[in-house]
A and B are shown apart, each in its own frame.
Chain A
Amino acid sequence: MSLKIDQDHSRFRAIVRGKIRENLKKYISHGELLGRKGKDLVSIPIPQIDIPRFRYGDKQQGGAGQGDGDVGDPVGGDGEEGGEGKQAGSDAGEHSLEVDVSLDELASILGEELELPDIQDKGKSKLINAKDRYTGVRRVGPESLRHFRRTYREALKRQISMGAYSPDSPVVVPIPDDKRYRSWKTEAEPVANAVIIYMMDVSGSMGDEQKEIVRIESFWIDAWLQRQYKGLESRYIIHDAVAREVDRDTFFHTRESGGTMISSAYKLCNTLIDDHYPPEEWNIYPFHFSDGDNWSMDDTLSCVDLMKQKLLPRVNMFAYGQVESPYGSGQFIKDLRDHFGKDDRVVTSEIRDKDAIVGSIKDFLGKGK
């Protein structure tokens, strides 16, 4: 169904993306695509544009509130309007809204938005674990699983409707009919392990913006695969002319200069798999990001060779993402496509800018492998 608001909404989206009305962009209050990342929660800021008005500085003002606490106690800072929002009309929205969602939920939202299929296991690990989850309430069950609140509620309802409840002596006694018990479902969970091996080109031609793209993209890939596999590991390899394994933080913040030999990374990746991840037990996902500039055609050929001989037979999927940089020639993706155009174990994707991230996630994960 089309709504009248669609026009205004797409106009707003266009402003936020900076497509039109550049001068408004400075009032957009939003952080990164993922605001802060807590333990399991991420907050997604919803961009808001503040219309400037004559008004007081925020911090000077203060105000009046309600609740417990002594003088000097902090006031519940950045909470937004409470859960049950009713609204009368024209409140000036002063704060940008941040939505907290759990990683798991986020992955489902992502999955739904992009229509990602669930991943088909390679079939190597057929081990299944049964797991019980408490999902509902039922009328029979062992006393140890009695749901106190629901039982109490039922009893209260019954007493009120029978007129046996008096607010002066609020005694609520459940009878067997009131009792409610937690009930569970047994779910089968495959015991599959997966490892993502991230490789990134950190040669001089990869700028901060390119790394930012890789960072965001890898976050989403992590989130999705985390949902699909219980035990997910991530390994990180950076390379210029030589490759080395690093931790996550270094991976995203290193900047080297010098040439690029992609084969060095693939070799290291191969060694990692040899040493730690026997393909019978592991689902293996190498992801490689670069700006597509390689040292020589020879090196490209040895990459292709490595992939054909060693990597592809053992991995679920090999993903290559090419970010656009002002320096790179962008040749590598063409070479890969020439050699593996028909092989559906190899997925390539070009990521032009931040807006293209979503599309490329779909490229990578849309095959359900």
Chain B
Amino acid sequence: MSEFALKTSLPTYLQDWQATIAGYAAEAGLDFFPTVFEILTYDQMNEIAAYGGFPNRYPHWRFGMEYERLAKSYEYGLSKIYEMVINNNPSYAYLLEGNSLTDQKLVMAHVFAHVDFFKNNYCFRSTDLDTGGHTTNPGARPAAYDPNRRWIDKMANHGARLRRHVELLGVNRVEEFVDHCLSLENLVDPHAAFSGRRVPVDPDATEKAEEVPRLRAKDYMESFINPEEFLEEQKQKIQERKERAKKFPEHAERDVLRFLLDHAPLERWERDVLEVVREEALYFIPQMQTKIMNEGWATYWHSKLMTEKILDASEIIDYADNAAGVLATSGGRLNPYKLGVELYRNIEERWDKGQFGKEWEECDDLDDKRNWNLRLGLGKKKIKEVRALYSDVTFIDEFLTPDFCRDHKLFSFSWSNRNERFEIESREFKQIKEKLLFQLTNAGSPFIYVEDGNFENRGELLLRHDHQGMDLRTDYAKEVMRSLARVWKRPVNVTTIVEGKATVLRYDGKEHSSRAGGAPPGRPG
């Protein structure tokens, strides 16, 4: 390990460049955590990338799978990883040994913008830790913002915890349970950190009889001031409230993993594993929520810093060659780098020229619109505000415009049953935006809620799939229910809609079944 640590520090000429580029970035107004660069050989790079950027994770085969994929792609010359940076304070970033100096400079500029994004975007505040290594309330941000984000240590601790279980229980048993937990990984509330501390329910609290309060009145006035019907109504309300409190969970619970941690009859080590999986899942959520914004931001700044400050004339062609590769779209796929950077530039231009607000929206004259320029120069300020306060969903929702879709040839596609292939469905703004938002919402996963932890009074688990026009993939759903039953240790039910019919899927620990059944009326989530 020490050998590894020694060999990865930057050579002096790159250290000099790091200082220079950090200076340019700060001058341009970027505000980033201290950043440590390390230089890696390609197999070290592949290893670290397989671990999601962390030098130390818990043991699991899927990291090995990822490694094989990366290593093979590199060996066959399909792709290589230029750059990697992790959301940590201080941030760590990795450079690939043997890249040209131009590439290394580009990567550094790119990285500083990423780190600025990690530090300033609101989504990432859910990864702030307190001294005990728990996530903190992200609502409060002190003036000198220097949060504890020592996730490298935390992930390494997770590794140590799981390794200890492996030593005691054997690798197969632990790994199998980890696999089950990973099947449930996406059943968390992505906004968990923002919903505040939950008040723990005291299970020992005894029920007190509650009486409807009466207004004081003289005897003969009693039936007028406290009429019988009203009292009855109030009684009913109290009753209802109590019923609801008995229901379990009280409200439909989005954070299925949290619910399982709190209420499933888990052994100590199982709870530990589930906790690790949940925490790591939550850590990666901001990155999924801001993929387009984050990459777009980094691309915006590296291109700005490189072309305005860093490059000398002899490097410009190599740089342009590389940049073109990064921004290329192939096979009709959306490239988050491209989409992001173009949107930022679009916003900057619009706010520089004052192309926003009521007057702009209401202007019908195309010529006027084309030449609209109020010379406000608000662009820089606006994009900085955007990078702090938006996530991909709100970013697209607010700033994607019909003009932008047309200029950048966006389209929506869907599966054609007739031709057995994906086909371009439309170039209409509304449909493109709809598809794009659907893809981004909840990271493209279905919404699942815990509806009842004591279903039909038999201790069974009832989940509800909030059907939004798309069915679940059934073979996968069945496997996930197996995992749920393994954790809950009682039968598991899921209400959903299959091909237009309300259906309850059930797994009783031995076999799967399904029956038609009304989904229970949706309760506010």
Contact = CB atoms under 8 A, between A and B. Distances in A.
A7 B397 CA distance: 44
Contacts, number: 259
A64 B330 contact: no
A94 to B, nearest CB: 10
Given A49-B65, A93-B66, A99-B72, A64 B409 contact: no
A88 B44 contact: no
Interface residues of A, number: 67
A66 B421 contact: no
A66 B176 CA distance: 41
A90 B67 contact: no
B470 A56 contact: yes
B480 A54 contact: yes
B422 interface: yes
A70 to B, nearest CB: 7
Interface in B57-78: 59-69, 72-73, 76, 78
B239 interface: no
Contacts of B83: 86
A235 to B, nearest CB: 33
A153 B473 CA distance: 51
Given A46-B69, A62-B413, A81-B79, A89 B53 contact: yes
Interface centre among A12, A58, A79, A80 (most CB of B within 10 A): A12
B495 interface: no
Contact of A64 (B43, B322, B331, B436): B436
Interface in A61-103: 61-77, 79-90, 93, 97, 99, 101
B473 A57 contact: yes
B439 interface: yes
Interface string B72-101: 110010111111101000000000000000
B305 interface: no
Nearest to A99: B76
B216 to A, nearest CB: 57
Contact of B332 (A7, A67, A80): A67
Contact of A85 (B80, B425, B473, B483): B80
Contacts of A20: 172
A24 B65 contact: no
Interface of B: 43-44, 46-47, 49-53, 55-56, 59-69, 72-73, 76, 78-84, 86, 171-172, 175-176, 179, 182-187, 284, 287-288, 291, 294-295, 313-314, 316-317, 322, 325-326, 328-335, 337-339, 408-415, 419, 421-427, 432, 435-436, 438-439, 444-446, 448, 465, 470-473, 475-477, 479-480, 483
23 contacts: A4-B55, A5-B67, A8-B64, A9-B64, A12-B65, A21-B175, A49-B61, A49-B65, A53-B184, A53-B445, A54-B448, A57-B470, A57-B471, A67-B409, A73-B423, A74-B419, A75-B413, A75-B421, A82-B333, A83-B79, A90-B288, A97-B73, A161-B314
